[in-house]
Amino acid sequence: MTVMNPTRLFRKKDPYQNHISRTRGEKIGGVIICIFLFALSLIMIYPFWHVLMYSISEPERALGGGLFFYPRGISFFSYSLVLRNAQIWIAYKNTILKTLFGTLISVVLSAMTAYPLSVKRLRGRNFFSMMIFFTMLFGGGTIPTYLLVKSLSLIDTFWALILPGAVSAYNMFILRNYMQSLPSELEESARIDGAMAFTILFRIILPLAAPSLAAIAMFYGVSNWNSYMDCLLYTNSTSLQTLQLYLRQVLLQTSSANAAMTVTGETSEYVSDTQVQMVIVAVSVIPILIVYPYLQRFYTKGITVGAVKG
């Protein structure tokens, strides 16, 4: 007599045990989607790949132009030539300081603005929100902004690179919506324990809003690193020149000799103006590409959770 194993009577059937075969149309659609995504990725990646391969190619062989899928002889002579100039290091220093201090100030100001607007008991909360939202639709323009910065005696100062665009209304609303999604009981219990507004913000709200803070910090950081219009409008001294403005200055050069003199300060060593431009583009993009992946993981969570409530 065969004895049945009692565990077989209660074993659940695996819903994924039977393989569900796809139809022919689904297979063709999957192939088309893969081809489309591959082509889209190639379109996005290749321009920077071309810049990188061009910049590390030998100067003589790079003059041939064309598409650069691989370096035509590896040479870092153009990098040594560009990095030999002291002005690019001044521009690097200014860009790094602008990114660090600008991002820190922007995140703090955005948090201090978003927190009171997320509190429902604040009178006139909707009015202030609409006034800030109005700035997303209409702006004063370049000339009124310049006159305002000039009246504040910020022209040709380091603060002119940070303060005029310190707070973004878009980023502030993302952070406000995230704070609104937090339970109101947290703030109420903290107030019962005697905590003040700044204590609640910096000890309770901001630690819980870390994903959203990281997301807007990434936005502010990339914006500060890539900005050049504020430096172009509000500064006159080369000691305050940022990396993007220095790149623009080199890109405006029309001849190889002028580009070489601009970068190296001498004409005895020759490198094409195109390769000089490629090198400066590469050195200005590589740092942000290194930092970006570490903050990318906060992007989706910080944006989607902050969009739950309006």
Report the pLDDT value the prediction gives residue 106, as an integer from 0 to 100: 93
- C-alpha torsion sign, points 122, 123, 127, 131: negative
Do 163 and 70 lie in one domain? The reply is no
The tokens describing 46, both together, are 């290749």
Do 233 and 199 lie in one domain? The reply is yes
For residue 144, being part of any structural domain is answered with: yes
Do 176 and 274 lie in one domain? The reply is yes
pLDDT band at 212 (very low <50, low <70, confident <90, very high): confident
Do 54 and 109 lie in one domain? The reply is no
For residue 2, being part of any structural domain is answered with: no
Answer with the residue of higher pLDDT: 261 or 201.
201
The tokens describing 67, both together, are 């598409």
The CATH number that applies at residue 109 is 1.10.3720.10
For residue 256, being part of any structural domain is answered with: yes
**Cα separation of 211 and 181, whole Å?**
13
Residue with tokens 């889209």: 40
DSSP 14: P
Count of domains forming the chain: 2
Do 122 and 40 lie in one domain? The reply is no
Which of these three, 33, 48, 75, is where a domain ends? 75
For residue 181, being part of any structural domain is answered with: yes
Do 171 and 251 lie in one domain? The reply is yes
Tell me which residue of 253, 276, 227, 282 sits closest to 85, measured CA to CA: 276
Q: Which residues contact 161 (CB under 8 A, 6 or more apart)?
A: 94, 98, 102, 227, 230, 231, 234, 235, 240, 242
Read off the pLDDT of residues 95-125 as tens digits, 9 standing for 90 and up: 999 999 999 999 999 999 998 888 888 888 8
Read off the pLDDT of residues 52-76 as tens digits, 9 standing for 90 and up: 888 888 777 777 777 788 787 787 8
**Cα separation of 296 and 211, whole Å?**
10
For residue 175, being part of any structural domain is answered with: yes
* Residue-number span of the structural domain to which 90 is assigned: 85-306
Arithmetic mean of pLDDT over the chain: 79
- Full-model pTM: 0.74
For residue 169, being part of any structural domain is answered with: yes
Report the pLDDT value the prediction gives residue 97, as an integer from 0 to 100: 92
Do 169 and 298 lie in one domain? The reply is yes
Burial of residue 120, with CB atoms counted within 10 A of its CB: 0-12 exposed, 13-18 middle, 19 or more buried: exposed
